[in-house]
Amino acid sequence: METLNSSDLIRDDEIFLRMNPAERIQHFLLILTFTILIVTGLPLIFYELKIFKTLMSFERAFYIRGVLHRIAAMILIVNIIWHFFYTIFTKRGRSNFKEMIPKFKDVRDAWDLFWHNVGLTQLLYKKGVLKTFFEKHPYWLFEKEPEFGRYNFIEKFEYLAVAWGSFVMIISGFFMWNVELSLRLFPLWVHDIFVIIHGYEAMLAFLAIIIWHMYNVHLNPEVFPMSKIWLNGKISGHELRTLHPLEYRKILEERKRILESESL
Amino acid sequence: MSLLAAPAAASTISPASNDDCLTCHSDSSLKSSAGKPLFVDQDKFKASVHGQAEIACIDCHADLKKVKDFPHPEKLQPVNCGACHEKDAAQVKASIHGQPQEGQIPITVTCRDCHGTHEIRGKDDPESLIFPINLPTTCEACHLERVKTKRGRSFIEMYNQSAHYKALEKAGLTLSANCANCHDGHNIRSVSDPQSLVSRKNIIRTCGVCHVGIRMGYLEGVHGKDYVKGSQDVPVCTDCHSEHNIQSPEDLSSPVYATKVAGVCSRCHDDERLARQYGFLTSRLKTFSSSYHGTASKFGETRAANCASCHGFHDIRVSIDPKSPINPNNLAKTCGKCHAGAGKNFAKGKIHVVSEKTENKWAYFAKIFYIVVIAVLISVFLIFIAADLYHRLRIRWKH
């Protein structure tokens, strides 16, 4: 399935930096705070579950739960502020952000990859169904896997989901934390909406991470048991060529240009 | 029989004086033929309420008045306290203690069982068997071991754990309720007897003897108003506070401890039959539990609001009552007890929302929106993952 051949300019075992230390710490803080927030928040939604009753049977457990939830929220907010300034004020941050902006290509990538994986049209073609149609429009065969840049549609979606989710959770959570302030500003029924949104957005984020992110970075046979990028930040030339071919090409062309300008 | 056979040493014309009696009965080794001690402690008798009043032996042992020859026959009539204590004796006779009890050994409780005999003291004397501090021990003499009621004998053990007994025992607070304060001393009756002080008909008045303010509050509230009308459904004191084992609401074992109140109220307020009859809403526990207050309460957080925090307790009123803490005009104040500074906005919404569809349509919309988004998104994730795994398997099959 490798569409790109390896080049002399980029060895397959060459190491590229995909996540620098700052990005790794930001990601680690996100994991830490997200986990604490989920664990300390779920008992409020699944208050009937026995496990929470057992875990929280000691005195002041509920109070401590609340304090931990708020501490984690504060760390998450600080982390987001750091990430915000990092994105604006560093060259790498700005370049990453540009790569992260969703484009129409991402929608098409998702579509193409899905039908490529399903392989239904190729099967039909092989059986001789709609032969003339497929010969006329080979796109519908989805023969080629879409080529991704530095961030594929999966990663872009996750990033945007975290951004949107954090925004919703911080706003609603702020007013739940400061219920007196909230009720000075809004009627009770608006405050109730904050509570409902906070709970359901949490469920959404939790399920998205458990199913989507865990599959893509852990259970996916390509990376199983775990992609180590979040720990060492390293990606090999080979991985770059197979997983992010557009970025690979970009680096390749850059090196070619440098080589040419040197030879001049 | 040996006493009868003994020659009459002294025969007197006038009735026997106490000294005459004590000629024999001051002998501490004096026993009846059945081995029952017949010794009378002079000092104790003189200190007793009857001794103080200079009542003679023969005033109580009245059949001795006619006896001329002493020693007198061994078998005497039982002392009839009712000869003087007419009213009290009549009460006891009508009470549960006056009736022979069902069971293997029919027991009829007599005066002496509770009051003692020669050493009887005034009821305000700390030495008295019925002095508040001593009374539980006196009742326990039978009720802890010998007497079994339908509900077993554990209730007196339960009383010994109660706030009432602790105050009595630890602090010597004689105003605290002992057995007789609730059950009366002489007029003790079964709880099912309407004349009993602890019957449903009388319990409010009985507890209200000490808890006057609470009784007044209760009678002003919805429960009290229906109680006066004779409703059998409204709770009385004991329905929420339990009976013998009454604890301070601050005590973890109290049924009205902060985190347990919801369970007590919902016994009736989640009851379909009562809800239909009285036209109130059910699912009170469910809707409370799903709120932050309820969840916190469930996990043992005592500072979280429970039913009583908002509705009051003894004088619970309907929300349209201007005095009700949950009247829309009072909500700012009621909620403000915990949420300082929260104003009138508290009234602009619903608590205990069962269906947001009718109560808060925007909240309902937000909920439906999220449920749809979650369902769609998770389905898409799973379909994508399935397609990816299928593709990988296909490649593996090819090779």
List beta partners, residue B31.
B37
Of B300, B381, B395, the CB nearest to A62: B300
Question: The tokens of B38 are what?
Answer: 């017949």
- Confidence tier at B354 by pLDDT (50, 70, 90): low
- CA nearest to B361 within chain A: A189
Residue A162 CA to residue A159 CA, distance in Å, equals 5
- Minimum distance, in Å, between the CA of residue B375 and any CA atom of chain A: 9
pLDDT surpasses 80 at A73: yes
pLDDT surpasses 60 at B144: yes
- CA nearest to A1 within chain B: B395
- Give the SS3 label for residue A76: helix
pLDDT surpasses 70 at A95: yes
- CA nearest to A61 within chain B: B299
Judge: A212–B353 Cβ closer than 8 Å, yes or no: no
Q: In degrees rounded to 5, what are phi and psi of residue B69?
A: -100, 125
Of A1, A114, A193, the CB nearest to B363: A193
Judge: A52–B363 Cβ closer than 8 Å, yes or no: no
- pLDDT more than 70, % of chain A: 98
Mean pLDDT across B323-351: 87
Residue B237 CA to residue B229 CA, distance in Å, equals 16
Lowest mean pLDDT among A165-169, A198-202, B57-61, B71-75: B71-75
Q: How many CB atoms lie within 10 A of CB B20?
A: 18
pLDDT surpasses 50 at A48: yes
Residue B290 CA to residue B302 CA, distance in Å, equals 16
pLDDT surpasses 50 at B12: no
User: A61 contacts in B (CB within 8 Å)?
Assistant: 299-300
- pLDDT more than 90, % of chain B: 52
Residue B32 CA to residue B23 CA, distance in Å, equals 16
Which residue do the tokens 């397959």 mark? A12
Question: The tokens of A253 are what?
Answer: 């062309």
Residue A51 CA to residue B299 CA, distance in Å, equals 12
Residue B217 CA to residue A37 CA, distance in Å, equals 45
Question: The tokens of B94 are what?
Answer: 């009508």
Select from A152, A196, A198, A223 the residue whose CB has the most chain B CBs within 10 Å, as the one to mutate to test that interface: A196
What distance lies between CA A1 and its chain's CA centroid? 24
- Interchain CB contact of B384 with A (< 8 Å): yes
- pLDDT more than 70, % of chain B: 93
- Confidence tier at B148 by pLDDT (50, 70, 90): low
B269-319 confidence digits (pLDDT tens): 989 999 898 888 888 888 898 889 999 998 888 899 999 999 999 999 999
User: A193 contacts in B (CB within 8 Å)?
Assistant: 360, 362-363, 366
- Interchain CB contact of B396 with A (< 8 Å): no
- Minimum distance, in Å, between the CA of residue A72 and any CA atom of chain B: 19
- Confidence tier at B30 by pLDDT (50, 70, 90): confident
How much is the mean pLDDT over chain B?
87
User: B298 contacts in A (CB within 8 Å)?
Assistant: 47
- Minimum distance, in Å, between the CA of residue B336 and any CA atom of chain A: 9
B158-196 confidence digits (pLDDT tens): 898 999 999 999 999 999 999 999 999 999 998 889 999
- Minimum distance, in Å, between the CA of residue A202 and any CA atom of chain B: 10
Residue A28 CA to residue B360 CA, distance in Å, equals 39
Query: Hey, where are the domains in chain A?
Result: 21-100, 103-147
Mean pLDDT across B349-376: 88
Judge: B299–A188 Cβ closer than 8 Å, yes or no: no
Helix axes A61-89, A91-100, angle to 10 degrees: 100
Which residue do the tokens 């109730």 mark? A192
- Give the SS3 label for residue A122: helix
Judge: A47–B298 Cβ closer than 8 Å, yes or no: yes
Q: How many CB atoms lie within 10 A of CB A253?
A: 11
pLDDT surpasses 50 at B140: yes
- Sign (positive/negative) of CA torsion B224, B227, B233, B235? positive
Q: What pLDDT sits at residue B249?
A: 92
How much is the mean pLDDT over chain A?
92
Select from B259, B293, B299, B350 the residue whose CB has the most chain A CBs within 10 Å, as the one to mutate to test that interface: B299
Residue B173 CA to residue B180 CA, distance in Å, equals 15
Mean pLDDT across B78-94: 92
Which residue do the tokens 């998104």 mark? B377
Q: Which residue has the higher pLDDT, A65 or A222?
A: A65
SS (H, E, C) chain B: CHHHHCCCCCECCCCCCHHHHHHHHCCCCCECCCCCECCCCHHHHHHCHHHHCCCCHHHHCHHHHCCCECCCCCCCCCCCHHHCCHHHHHHHHHCCCCCCCCCCCCCCCCHHHHHCCCCCCCCCCCCCCCCCCCHHHHHHHHHCCCCCCCCCCHHHHHHHHCHHHHHHHHCCCCCCCCHHHHHCCCCCCCCCCCCCCCCCCCHHHHHHCCCHHHHHHHHHCHHHHHHHCCCCCCCCHHHHHCCCCCCCCCCCCCCCCCCCHHHHHHHHHCCHHHHHHHCCCCCHHHHHHCCHHHHHHHCCCCCCCCHHHHHCCCCCCCCCCCCCCCCCCCHHHHHHCCCCCCCHHHHCCCCCCCCHHHHCHHHHHHHHHHHHHHHHHHHHHHHHHHHHHHHHHHHHHHC
A207-247 confidence digits (pLDDT tens): 999 999 999 998 888 888 888 999 999 999 999 998 999 99
Residue A206 CA to residue A193 CA, distance in Å, equals 20
Nearest to B387 by CA among A209, A215, A133, A207: A215
What are the residues whose beta carbons fall under 8 Å from the beta carbon of A251, sequence distance 6 or more? A10, A16, A240
- Minimum distance, in Å, between the CA of residue A13 and any CA atom of chain B: 24
Which residue do the tokens 């915990």 mark? B338
Residue A136 CA to residue A116 CA, distance in Å, equals 18
- Confidence tier at B7 by pLDDT (50, 70, 90): very low
Q: Are the C-beta atoms of B103 and B149 separated by less than 8 Å?
A: no
Mean pLDDT across B350-358: 78
pLDDT surpasses 60 at B11: no
Q: Are the C-beta atoms of B44 and B63 separated by less than 8 Å?
A: no
Mean pLDDT across A171-188: 93
Select from B334, B372, B381 the residue whose CB has the most chain A CBs within 10 Å, as the one to mutate to test that interface: B381
pLDDT surpasses 90 at B378: yes
- Confidence tier at B104 by pLDDT (50, 70, 90): low
Helix axes A21-45, A188-207, angle to 10 degrees: 120
User: B295 contacts in A (CB within 8 Å)?
Assistant: 43-44, 47
B210-266 confidence digits (pLDDT tens): 999 999 999 999 999 999 999 999 999 999 999 899 999 999 899 999 999 999 999
Q: What pLDDT sits at residue B283?
A: 82
Measured between alpha carbons, how far is residue B200 from residues A111, B206, B237, B238, B256 in Å? 74, 10, 9, 9, 20
Q: What pLDDT sits at residue B15?
A: 72
Residue B73 CA to residue B69 CA, distance in Å, equals 9
- Minimum distance, in Å, between the CA of residue B282 and any CA atom of chain A: 19
Nearest to B119 by CA among B63, B47, B69, B170: B47
* Among B residues 161-220, those touching chain A with beta carbons less than 8 Å apart: none
Q: What pLDDT sits at residue B9?
A: 43
Residue A77 CA to residue A37 CA, distance in Å, equals 12
- Interchain CB contact of A62 with B (< 8 Å): yes
Highest mean pLDDT (candidates A136-150, B262-276, B374-388): B374-388
- Interchain CB contact of A52 with B (< 8 Å): yes
What are the residues whose beta carbons fall under 8 Å from the beta carbon of B100, sequence distance 6 or more? B106, B107, B108
Cis peptide before B71 (omega within 30 of 0): yes
Helix axes A153-177, A188-207, angle to 10 degrees: 150
- Confidence tier at B156 by pLDDT (50, 70, 90): confident
Nearest to B77 by CA among B67, B68, B85: B67
Nearest to B300 by CA among A132, A224, A104, A60: A60
Q: Can you give the length of chain A in residues?
A: 264
Residue B126 CA to residue A124 CA, distance in Å, equals 104
pLDDT surpasses 90 at A96: yes
- Minimum distance, in Å, between the CA of residue A100 and any CA atom of chain B: 20
Question: The tokens of A163 are what?
Answer: 């951004």
Mean pLDDT across B116-134: 92
Q: Are the C-beta atoms of A61 and B299 separated by less than 8 Å?
A: yes
Q: What pLDDT sits at residue B6?
A: 40
User: B289 contacts in A (CB within 8 Å)?
Assistant: 47
* Among A residues 208-247, those touching chain B with beta carbons less than 8 Å apart: 208, 211-212, 215, 220-221
Nearest to B119 by CA among B132, B110, B130, B109: B130
